Amino acid sequence: MSTVIQHIETLLVDLPTIRPHKLSMTTMACQTMVIVRMRHSDGIEGLGEGTTIGGLAYGPESPESIKRNIDTYLAPLLVGQPSNNVHQLRARLHRHARGNMIAKSALETALLDAQGKRLGLSVAELLGGARQDHLPVLWTLASGDTAKDIDEAMLRLEQRRHCDFKLKIGANPVDQDVRHVAAIKEALGDRASVRVDVNQAWDESTAVRGIQALQDAGIELIEQPIHAREHAGLVRLANRFNVPMLADEAVQDARDGLDLVCGGFNGAFALKIAKSGGIYGVLELAHVAQAAGIGLYGGTLLEGTIGTAASLHAWATLPEMAWGTEMFGPLLLKDDIVVEPLNYTEFEWNCRKGRGWVSPWMKVN
């Protein structure tokens, strides 16, 4: 008899951040994660996570809607189904439910975790094998205070934990944000790279002025300066400046990636398993980017350890992450739901072998 999915439970878990995390659309002092526990008839439990930023401030899914839609609509599509054909179950979810990509990602990663545990393989091995066992991880400076951000960056450098930094801007007038970023870059000098994330806060004319000033200040990458739907404007900005543009909210899946490439975009893509509906969807986008010569960046929605581990196993299967990763989510939280955290040393994440992507030593508390 084939193994079937017996029960799916969702839990909302609130964890405070180590300091306020200021974005263009909200300031976070707590992260709410949706944890999926998927039990199978062979006794194996797969774990998944669906996490977003700032309730509904960032996108159309909130923690509460993720939990409710899994419980009410998505879990019934999976319970009683055979466990081992992840592709078939993924297709079933997409056929019967539109959108809800974070919720679908949480379920898909729980399926992959269970399959890895069943076969004694990591998820990276399920996907064909890891090409990298070390991935660089940057740190986001988002206190909103220039002096505090400089001190925080200096501490991370001394700890040898991060040597690349991203600044969240867009909540303030552009000139104020540029002064803030330029001061931090000047303080760090050549010791660290500095990038910015505008989180869609500017219109195109403001972006032209802001990007020119940021380029002059030595900033290395500009993430999503204008609205996600303004593909043509993002292409114009990418072609106008030497500093690369990073498409994030503008590139949800492989179709978005193809549209940007065909439109002449020459920047980089931010990959996120949550916005692509899971690992398989995000790897489809990565393959489009690779075929077009677009650089890749491993993005986060500030997931905890479970979601971060799932993302890292996906990134590890790719030949190169030209712009590194920002999989620092667990480090931003005061607590964790696993006994042993991920291994961040020497400015990188170091892969440990295990079954699934939640390794045997990472037991949920």
The pLDDT score that the predictor gives to residue 360 is 39
The pLDDT score that the predictor gives to residue 364 is 58
Under the banding of pLDDT at 50, 70 and 90, the label for residue 202 is very high
- Average pLDDT (159-177) is 94
**Alpha carbons 207 and 197: distance in angstroms, whole number:** 12
User: Rounded to the nearest 5°, which phi and psi values hold at 310?
Assistant: -60, -45
Residue 137 above 70 pLDDT?
A: yes
Specify the range with the lowest mean pLDDT, choosing from 66-70, 324-328, 356-360.
356-360
Q: What is the pTM of this model?
A: 0.92
What residues are annotated to the active site? 168, 326
Residue 173 above 70 pLDDT?
A: yes
The pLDDT score that the predictor gives to residue 365 is 55
The pLDDT score that the predictor gives to residue 1 is 63
Question: Is residue 351 helix, strand or coil?
Answer: coil
List the domains of the chain with CATH numbers.
5-120 (3.30.390.10), 126-350 (3.20.20.120)
